[in-house]
């Protein structure tokens, strides 16, 4: 990795938590300078503008979530157990190396839906990727006779994702962790009943 690539990676690592907590609009150049200890010229010498940093920060945060999920899925064998990893991780995300500020997909989707087309597209692409991954697991589970043959993989995948993201949103808004636990138990039941 060249010095320029290391500097760029450093900027992303230091600003990603800020973008995830404060959002695009709430993150200022001064926030980025303070987090990195670099000058405006150093930051914008490596990135075109704030948008460029924000897009890279989203990708970084999403990779952190994906790494946690993959690591946990590698510890289980069945497709049912793999689906249950989502509730395990999202119910207890403070116990995992999750991005500061919570789920980057939810955070970005809420802020960028009407204000930032590029970030909105990244969040939408992340949801589609997640849905397709869950659909494939359900299809494989059906093929392995783990799930009922009449299971609709896309419907179940969308329900799981929407319910998880809704649980995260409700918990963040109310500060009540027991709400997230209760909602995750509902998803667990859904997965067990497939």
**What six digits make up the tokens of 2?**
């060249």
**DSSP-assigned letters across all residues of 78-142:** SHHHHHHHHHHHHHTGGGTTPPTTS-HHHHHHHHHTTT-HHHHHHHHHHHHHHHHHHHHHHHHHH
Task: Give which of 190, 185, 193 is closest to 87, Cα–Cα.
Answer: 185
Q: Where are the domains of the chain?
A: 58-192
pLDDT band at 94 (very low <50, low <70, confident <90, very high): confident
Which pLDDT does position 100 carry in this prediction? 86
Cα atoms found within 13 Å of the Cα of residue 59, Cβ hemisphere only: 9
Which pLDDT does position 20 carry in this prediction? 94
Query: What's this model's pTM, rounded to 2 decimal places?
Result: 0.91
Which pLDDT does position 13 carry in this prediction? 96
Give residue-wise pLDDT tens across range 36-76: 999 999 999 999 999 999 999 999 999 999 999 999 999 99
Q: Residues 91, 181: contact at Cβ < 8 Å?
A: yes
pLDDT band at 1 (very low <50, low <70, confident <90, very high): confident
CA angle 125, 157, 167 (to 5 degrees): 85
Give residue-wise pLDDT tens across range 117-132: 999 999 999 999 999 9
Question: d(Cα 136, Cα 129) in Å, to the nearest integer?
Answer: 11
**Does the domain spanning 58-192 belong to CATH 1.10.357.10?**
yes
Question: d(Cα 147, Cα 82) in Å, to the nearest integer?
Answer: 13
């Amino acid at each position: 990795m060249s010095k320029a690539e290391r500097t760029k990676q450093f900027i992303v690592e230091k600003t990603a938590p800020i973008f995830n907590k404060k959002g695009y609009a709430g993150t200022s150049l001064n926030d980025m300078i303070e987090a990195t200890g670099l000058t405006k010229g150093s930051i914008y010498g490596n990135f075109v503008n704030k948008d460029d940093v924000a897009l890279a920060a989203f990708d970084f945060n999403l990779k952190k979530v994906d790494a946690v999920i993959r690591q946990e899925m590698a510890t289980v064998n069945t497709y049912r157990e793999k689906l249950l990893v989502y509730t395990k991780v999202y119910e207890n995300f403070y116990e995992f190396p999750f991005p500061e500020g919570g789920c980057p997909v939810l955070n970005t989707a809420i802020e960028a839906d009407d204000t930032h087309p590029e970030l909105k597209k990244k969040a939408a692409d992340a949801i589609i990727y997640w849905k397709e991954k869950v659909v494939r697991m359900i299809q494989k589970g059906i093929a392995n006779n783990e799930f009922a043959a009449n299971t609709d993989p896309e419907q179940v995948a969308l329900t799981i994702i929407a319910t998880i993201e809704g649980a995260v949103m409700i918990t963040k808004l109310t500060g009540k962790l027991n709400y997230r636990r209760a909602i995750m138990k509902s998803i667990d039941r859904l997965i067990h009943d497939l």
